[in-house]
């Protein structure tokens, strides 16, 4: 019995451990799946919103392009466009023709509005209050026609909208830019829903705008917020106030609320373009993914503890391990493929580096050379190669910042070198050649005092001239207060490196000479070989596999 109890206790312990492990995995997977589902749903929603906005902006462009203006004072200008604007099947609230009228045209406009049968043909303010037009000296924007014409909209024509602070700014921007412009969110009517107005300028004979075709839309329909099954709620960031945002309820009513600085930030923010402006949509998750994942994990743990038994535990463990093993095999196959590609590339680069090192050793330890000097030069040259390989490894062989090759650990007398030039990331091949080049120049500067009794001051400067793809890289090394008598003579390896190896590796030319007060080395090469985009593209492809 004791033995049986021990076995049963051991099985219970195994079952509890397995239940806990399963609960942990389920919690992690639930969180991951929720995040993936949320991100995908948000991307789809933002894409649909952008498509919807693009359709409505296209309607405004088409309407303004088809608009004919034989007389801007006519009150039935939208009649020829009725079939066109309804063919798009957009859900605009009201379409309007707004004429830009001069003071002398207002009487004609009143008569035209009366002829068209509008109940109030007088020219009045945007809030329907009387407006004194006798003192006007500049054109005003008057609503002359609406679509659809119904009991609610038939009273709108005759209103001048140039005094509206939101619409006036929109009309001015549309007139200046010559393309459709959207307004800030505003109530579409007294106590009406919040929406946007899109104004497209209409030009006559290619001149300045003579009016605007406008379409008003409810904000809720543009934001696609009436989906009860959505994983998130959508808010529109107020373009005028960063501390306010617009949100729609399940019935489509849009209201403004203050942003809570201490509250949870939106799960994601997407930017859409409409009416020549960028609009930010914030997405708040409707459910707490972490809480739901914990609840799911708790249920799994409870079920696992309730089903503690060797048979159920073994079946669950085997099933879980089969799934995990399948995923690990797929990961391993992919890893081995990437590893093979990386090893091949590494072999290629190691062979190149070994060939360079072999050349350095052979040239440095040539027959007849001073062994002490040769040893110091060999150590320094290999150290310079080691430094550039370390820099390339840190950048994943994507290139090296040119200024990084002048570090004190690899360049002698670095404290006397004044480095200047644009920020350039040179290729791996160019970095190896330039690192040896800089070491060779620095190591052969004088070890004693110059002619003026001071150590020479070294200036390393480079620049890029010309335009792509014919840009040219210019490098100049100048040691001031140095002469042929004070500067140590370049070694045979240094001469070959300065005059042939480095210029040929970069596809350029070089020259070195003494001036009255300095030693100068100049290198000129095409930027296409200094940067070498072919090598960088190959490295990027390996990193993405």
pLDDT digits over 396-452, tens only? 666 778 887 776 566 777 777 888 998 888 887 787 788 787 877 887 765 544 554
Bridge partners of residue 476, in order along the sequence: 461, 522
Enter the CATH code of domain 9-308. Answer: 3.30.450.350
Give per-residue pLDDT as tens, 523-541: 999 988 888 666 555 555 5
Residue with tokens 């009143």: 110
Q: What length does the chain have?
A: 545
Is cis: bond before 148, omega within 30 of 0?
A: yes
pLDDT at 69: 61
Residue 119 has which token pair?
């109940």
pLDDT at 310: 63
> Is the four-CA dihedral 48, 53, 54, 59 of positive or negative sign?
positive
Q: Based on the number of CB atoms within 10 Å of its own CB, is 130 exposed (0-12), middle (13-18) or buried (19 or more)?
A: exposed
Which has more confidence, 156 or 341?
A: 156
pLDDT at 440: 79
Give per-residue pLDDT as tens, 147-181: 888 888 898 999 998 888 889 899 999 988 889 99
pLDDT over threshold 50, residue 542: no
Closest CA to 30 of 304, 293, 232: 293
Contact 449, 401 (CB under 8 A): no
pLDDT at 438: 81
Which has more confidence, 410 or 188?
A: 188
Give per-residue pLDDT as tens, 290-301: 777 777 777 877
DSSP string of 140-197, one letter each residue:
EEEEEEEES-STTTTT-TTBB-TT-HHHHHHHHHHHHHTS-EEPPPEESSTT--EEEE
Cβ partners under 8 Å of residue 527, min gap 6: 464, 468, 471, 472, 473
336-362 b/e (C-beta count within 10 Å ≥ 16 → b): eeeeeeeeeeeeebeeebeebeebbee
What torsion, rounded to 10 degrees, do the Cα atoms 446, 449, 454, 455 define?
20
pLDDT over threshold 60, residue 14: yes
User: Would you identify the CATH topology of the domain 342-544?
Assistant: Heat Shock Protein 90 (3.30.565)
**Average pLDDT over the chain, rounded to an integer:** 78
pLDDT over threshold 80, residue 12: no
* Angle subtended by helix axes 2-66 and 310-364, to nearest 10: 70
Contact 219, 248 (CB under 8 A): yes
As a whole number of angstroms, the distance between CA 97 and CA 157 comes to 9
Percent of the chain residues topping a pLDDT of 90: 12
Q: Across residues 461-490, what is the average pLDDT?
A: 85
pLDDT at 523: 92
Which has more confidence, 120 or 487?
A: 120
pLDDT at 387: 67
Q: Based on the number of CB atoms within 10 Å of its own CB, is 6 exposed (0-12), middle (13-18) or buried (19 or more)?
A: exposed
pTM of the shown model: 0.51
The domain segmentation of the chain, as residue ranges, is 9-308, 342-544
pLDDT at 449: 46
As a whole number of angstroms, the distance between CA 464 and CA 354 comes to 31
Long-range contacts of 152-156 (CB under 8 A, 24+ apart): 152/189, 153/94, 154/118, 154/119, 155/118, 155/119, 155/120, 155/128, 156/94, 156/96
Cα 460–461–467 angle (5° rounding)? Answer: 150
Residue 309's pLDDT band (boundaries 50, 70, 90)? low
Contact 448, 489 (CB under 8 A): no
Q: Across residues 312-317, what is the average pLDDT?
A: 49
Which has more confidence, 218 or 535?
A: 218
pLDDT at 316: 46
Q: Specify which of 121-125, 232-236, 497-501 reaches the highest per-range mean pLDDT.
A: 121-125
pLDDT over threshold 80, residue 472: yes
Q: Which of 13-22, 106-115, 188-197, 306-315 has the lowest mean pLDDT?
A: 306-315
């Amino acid at each position: 019995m004791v033995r049986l109890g021990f076995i049963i206790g051991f099985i219970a312990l195994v079952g509890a451990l397995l239940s806990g492990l399963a609960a942990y995995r389920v919690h992690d997977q639930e969180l991951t799946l929720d995040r993936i589902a949320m991100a995908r749903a948000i991307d789809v929603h933002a894409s649909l919103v952008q498509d919807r906005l693009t359709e409505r902006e296209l309607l405004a462009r088409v309407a303004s392009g088809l608009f004919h203006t034989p007389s801007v004072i006519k009150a039935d200008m939208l009649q020829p466009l009725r079939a066109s604007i309804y063919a798009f099947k957009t859900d605009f609230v009201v379409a309007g023709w707004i004429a830009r009228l001069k003071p002398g045209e207002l009487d004609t406009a009143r008569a035209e509005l009366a002829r068209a049968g509008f109940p109030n043909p007088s020219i009045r303010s945007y809030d329907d209050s009387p407006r004194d037009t006798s003192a006007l000296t500049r054109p005003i924007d008057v609503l002359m026609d609406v679509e659809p014409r119904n009991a609610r909209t038939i009273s709108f024509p005759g209103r001048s909208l140039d005094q509206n602070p939101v619409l006036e700014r929109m009309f001015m921007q549309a007139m200046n830019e010559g393309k459709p412009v959207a307004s800030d969110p505003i109530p579409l009517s007294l106590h009406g829903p919040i929406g946007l107005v899109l104004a497209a300028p209409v030009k006559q004979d290619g001149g300045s705008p003579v009016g605007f075709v406008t379409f008003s839309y409810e904000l809720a329909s543009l934001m696609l917020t009436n989906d009860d099954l959505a994983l998130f709620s959508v808010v529109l960031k107020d373009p005028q106030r960063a501390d306010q945002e617009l949100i729609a309820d399940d019935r489509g009513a849009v209201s403004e609320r203050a942003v809570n600085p201490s509250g949870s930030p939106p799960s994601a923010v997407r930017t859409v373009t409409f009416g020549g402006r960028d609009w930010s949509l914030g997405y708040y998750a409707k459910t707490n993914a972490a809480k739901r994942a914990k609840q799911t994990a708790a249920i799994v743990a409870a079920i696992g503890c309730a089903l503690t038994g060797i048979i159920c535990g073994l079946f669950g463990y085997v099933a879980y391990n089969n799934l995990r093993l399948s995923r690990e095999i797929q990961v391993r196959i992919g890893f081995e493929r990437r590893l093979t590609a990386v090893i091949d590339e590494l072999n290629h680069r190691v062979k190149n580096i070994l060939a360079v090192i072999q050349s350095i050793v052979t040239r440095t330890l040539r027959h007849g050379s001073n062994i002490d000097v040769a040893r110091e030069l060999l150590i320094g040259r290999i150290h310079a190669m080691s430094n550039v390989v370390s820099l390339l490894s840190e950048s994943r062989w994507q290139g090296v910042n040119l200024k990084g090759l002048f570090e004190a650990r690899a360049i002698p007398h670095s404290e006397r070198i004044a480095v200047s030039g644009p920020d350039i990331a040179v290729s791996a091949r160019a970095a190896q050649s330039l690192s040896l080049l800089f070491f060779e120049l620095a190591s052969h500067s004088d070890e004693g005092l110059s002619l003026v009794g001071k150590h020479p001051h070294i200036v390393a400067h480079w620049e890029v001239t010309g335009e792509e793809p014919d840009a040219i890289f210019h490098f100049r090394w100048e040691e001031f207060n140095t002469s042929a008598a004070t500067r140590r003579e370049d070694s045979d390896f240094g001469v070959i490196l300065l005059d042939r190896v480095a210029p040929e590796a970069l596809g350029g030319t070089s020259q070195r000479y003494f001036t009255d007060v300095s030693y100068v080395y100049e290198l000129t090469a095409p930027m296409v070989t200094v940067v070498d985009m072919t090598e960088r593209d190959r490295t990027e492809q390996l990193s993405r596999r």
